[in-house]
């Protein structure tokens, strides 16, 4: 990519049962894993050719389940599964269409980028486009025919839109075909179903949020109908976490499309977008998740009592009876009986509804924080590059890079007074700071008690990390006065200090460390620039630096030495700080000498220049530290390392910075030589 930049955050994928892929894997963890030899790929793919719709549906449903065990995927791909499943999208049976699309959806979600690109190469977009077109024309007619029942066409559309979303996340070619094939209007049509089917609308909103990023070609084709559909969603007021997520995604899509908004409506739309994000962040997951879990437990108790009562009146032919409760062991769907535990493709089936609501809440809050980060981005690339650890479905080549896209999309609002004003008016900085707290113990315990809910613990931690990253962005783009002045900044410093130093040991989770240390660096920079006293002691910052040096993430180590540099340069102006400056200088010298990464070496040297640049305290500490001979010994090693490793391992921008540091090192040695002669 040529340069380090702030990338967009990647969103979690959902498989065909409507739950996160990892949650399904965890919930099904007790099942026996399949190895390649036992993979029934050949037999199942053969059944796709059966003249019986029942057998074709069974084969597709079985493939959908089996491919969730990722080790089975090569067996299906080697047998040309994509080409053989493709025609099933337009099968004469609606049930076969739905299960076939669900199978391809799971294959794309569990197979990752390479599988998605292979699917696009095998022209899966052609039948998928035809299927979506038929779904859109069939929405209204099916609704008339089935007023009091679930709409089977919408069930197919849910699977189709999610498959399209996965493909566009992972393949730039899929995005290009999306632009050319008129898919925008179809997905917007699915979005407009939100009063009747929030699951379909949310899938469509996820897809739109993806395809509108860094896609000027699509933005040129935007029309008033698209904007109106998104604004209707944004201004809707239906209760429930699923609708909160839907509105959040609509807000993110409108932000992506801001260059297409009429100038007269930009301010109004911006305010609505920020208000939506603010309302989402107002929700307290620490309170709501235990409430949702208790509601699920109460439902299960009631269901068990009803089941006991009904057991005394067992039907003569129970295998063919359609039971009243959707969460009973068996149910009928499209005329076929199947286990609830293996099929959640109906809209929010009981027994998993509360889990879906909890998942939607955390996804909405994570997405809201990511949108705010993107709103705070500048036209210049940042030093940090962020990628979602757990996502395996997104491409590094598709609509991933945010800042470059913004600069090329005529973004009149980026870093503008309007954006900052909207964020401040809706108390976004304060709400973001609140979200940086550790998840409530009650919510964490509730999730750990149940295997199906266990994955939410990691999601809560990710919301915290995203909030810390968001705080870093806010601190980097707003001035001290806008952030509430000295009192607010000192309060933020005390809060971050409690997160890092509140436990006996500094947390070692890499995602948390990367986020908290970047926020701390930004905060200390603004505190130092405003001459505000800080609450973190040099000893605490030294312990943070030591923890960071053990981290494999380069940006963590870079920010750690930068923090030492900021602290040292501030302390150098005070009296009686010689020993502390020696301690900081020694730590920076160790990093400059021993770290394996040239960028970290360079940052440590740069920090040394700042700490020991001026002042009697700094001069005395430099002499006591024998800084001059140490840097003279390091100079040829640093130059040789740049020559040896630089060209193949580092970007041109990084090499330019390293060359400047090399020049500054020579000048700084000259300065120290004059100091010694005094």
3-class SS string, 85-118: HHHHHHCCCHHHHHHHHHHHHHHHHHHHHHHHHH
What CA–CA distance (Å, rounded) separates 251 from 205? 10
Nearest in space to 641 (alpha carbons), one of 659, 628, 625 = 659
Burial 153-172 (b: 16+ CB within 10 A, else e): bbbbbbbbbbbbbbbbbbbb
What CA–CA distance (Å, rounded) separates 7 from 620? 43
Cβ-based burial of 200 (10 A; exposed 0-12, middle 13-18, buried ≥19): buried
What CA–CA distance (Å, rounded) separates 656 from 602? 11
- SS3 for 171? coil
**DSSP bridge partners of 7:** 401
Burial 558-574 (b: 16+ CB within 10 A, else e): bbbbbbbbbbbbbbbee
SS percent in the chain: helix, strand, coil, step 5: 70, 0, 30
DSSP 20: B
What CA–CA distance (Å, rounded) separates 581 from 572? 7
- SS3 for 401? strand
Helix axes 598-611, 652-677, angle to 10 degrees: 40
Structure tokens at 464: 């915290």
In the numeric block, the tokens 């949650």 are attached to: 23
Helix axes 224-234, 263-282, angle to 10 degrees: 30
Structure tokens at 457: 């613990």
DSSP 319: G
Residue range 73-124, pLDDT digits in tens: 999 999 999 999 999 999 999 999 999 999 999 999 998 899 999 999 999 9
Residue 22's CB: how many other CB atoms inside 10 A?
A: 17
What CA–CA distance (Å, rounded) separates 208 from 200? 12
> Which residues, given as ranges, of the chain have pLDDT below 50?
1-36, 144-148, 315-350, 378-414
Residue range 314-367, pLDDT digits in tens: 544 433 333 333 333 333 333 333 333 333 333 334 458 899 999 999 999 999
Give every CB contact of residue 660 below 8 A, 6+ residues apart in sequence: none
Angle at 374 between CA 370 and CA 378, to 5 degrees: 150
- SS3 for 7? strand
Give every CB contact of residue 30 below 8 A, 6+ residues apart in sequence: none
Dihedral sign for Cα atoms in the order 212, 215, 216, 220: negative
Give every CB contact of residue 80 below 8 A, 6+ residues apart in sequence: 45
Nearest in space to 524 (alpha carbons), one of 505, 504, 507, 544 = 544
- SS3 for 37? coil
- Structure confidence at residue 531 (pLDDT): 86
Q: With contact defined as beta carbons under 8 Å apart, do 65 and 40 qualify? A: no
Backbone angles phi, psi at 340, to 5 degrees: -60, -35
Q: In residues, how long is the chain? A: 678
Q: DSSP for 327-366?
A: TSSEEEETTEEEEGGG---SSS-TTTHHHHHHHHHHHHHH
Helical H runs in 122-223? 125-145, 152-170, 172-180, 183-191, 198-211, 216-219
What CA–CA distance (Å, rounded) separates 135 from 193? 12
State the virtual CA torsion across 591, 593, 594, 595 in degrees, nearest 10.
Answer: 60
pTM of this prediction exceeds 0.95: no
């Amino acid at each position: 990519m040529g340069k380090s930049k702030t990338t967009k955050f990647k969103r979690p994928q959902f498989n065909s049962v409507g739950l996160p892929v990892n949650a399904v894997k965890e919930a099904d963890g007790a099942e026996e894993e399949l190895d390649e030899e036992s993979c029934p790929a050949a037999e199942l793919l053969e059944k796709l050719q059966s003249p019986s719709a029942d057998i074709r549906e069974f084969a597709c449903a079985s493939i959908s389940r089996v491919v969730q065990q990722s080790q089975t995927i090569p067996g299906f791909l080697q047998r040309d599964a994509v080409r053989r499943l493709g025609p099933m999208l337009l099968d004469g049976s609606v049930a076969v269409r739905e299960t076939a699309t669900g199978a391809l959806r799971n294959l794309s979600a569990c197979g990752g980028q390479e599988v998605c690109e292979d699917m696009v190469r095998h022209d899966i977009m052609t039948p998928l486009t035809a299927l979506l077109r038929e779904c859109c024309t069939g929405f209204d007619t099916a609704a008339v025919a089935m007023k009091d029942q679930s709409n089977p066409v919408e069930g197919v559309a849910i699977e189709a839109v999610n498959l399209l979303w996965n493909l566009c996340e992972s393949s730039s070619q899929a995005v290009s075909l999306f632009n050319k094939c008129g898919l925008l209007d179809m997905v917007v049509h699915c979005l407009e179903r939100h009063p009747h089917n929030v699951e379909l609308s949310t899938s469509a909103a996820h897809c739109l949020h993806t395809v509108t990023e860094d896609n000027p070609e699509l933005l040129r084709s935007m029309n008033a109908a698209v904007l109106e559909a998104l604004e209707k969603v944004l201004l809707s007021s239906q209760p429930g976490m699923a609708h909160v997520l839907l509105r959040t995604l609509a807000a993110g899509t409108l932000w992506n499309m801001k260059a297409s908004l009429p100038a007269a409506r930009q301010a109004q739309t911006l305010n609505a977008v920020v208000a939506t994000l603010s309302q989402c962040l107002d929700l307290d997951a620490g309170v709501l998740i235990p409430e949702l879990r208790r509601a699920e437990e109460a439902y299960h108790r009631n269901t068990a009592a009803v089941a006991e009562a009904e057991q005394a009146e067992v039907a003569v032919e129970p295998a063919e009876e359609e039971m009243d409760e959707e969460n009973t062991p068996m149910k009928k769907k499209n005329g076929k009986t199947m286990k609830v535990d293996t099929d959640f493709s109906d809209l929010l089936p009981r027994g998993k509804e509360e889990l879906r609501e909890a998942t939607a809440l955390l996804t909405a809050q994570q997405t809201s924080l990511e949108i705010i980060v993107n709103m705070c981005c500048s036209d210049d690339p940042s030093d940090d590059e962020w990628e979602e650890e757990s996502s395996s479905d997104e491409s590094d080549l598709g609509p991933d890079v945010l800042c470059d896209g913004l600069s090329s999309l005529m973004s009149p609002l980026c870093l503008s007074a309007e954006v900052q004003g909207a964020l401040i008016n809706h108390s976004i900085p304060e709400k973001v700071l609140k979200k940086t707290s550790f998840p409530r113990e009650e919510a964490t315990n509730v999730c750990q008690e149940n295997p199906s809910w266990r994955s939410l613990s990691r999601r809560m931690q990710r919301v915290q990390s995203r909030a810390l990253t968001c705080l870093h962005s806010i601190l980097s783009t707003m001035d001290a006065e806008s952030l509430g002045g000295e009192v607010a900044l000192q309060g933020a410093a005390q809060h971050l200090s409690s997160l890092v130093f509140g436990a006996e040991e500094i947390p070692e989770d890499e995602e948390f460390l990367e986020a908290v240390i970047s926020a701390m660096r930004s905060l200390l920079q603004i505190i130092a620039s405003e001459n505000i006293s800080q609450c973190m002691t040099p000893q605490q910052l030294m312990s943070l630096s030591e923890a960071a040096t053990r981290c494999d993430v380069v940006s963590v180590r870079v920010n750690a030495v930068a923090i030492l540099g900021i602290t040292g340069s501030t302390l150098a102006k005070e009296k009686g700080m010689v020993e502390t400056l020696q301690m900081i200088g020694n730590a920076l010298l160790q990093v400059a000498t021993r770290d394996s990464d040239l960028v970290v070496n360079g940052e440590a040297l740069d920090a040394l220049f700042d700490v020991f640049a001026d002042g009697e305290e700094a001069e005395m500490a430099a002499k006591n530290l024998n800084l001059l001979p140490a840097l003279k010994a390091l100079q040829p090693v640093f130059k040789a390392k740049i020559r040896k490793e630089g060209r193949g391992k580092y970007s041109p921008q990084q090499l330019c910075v390293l060359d400047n540091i090399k020049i500054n090192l020579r000048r700084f040695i000259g300065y120290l030589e004059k100091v010694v002669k005094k």
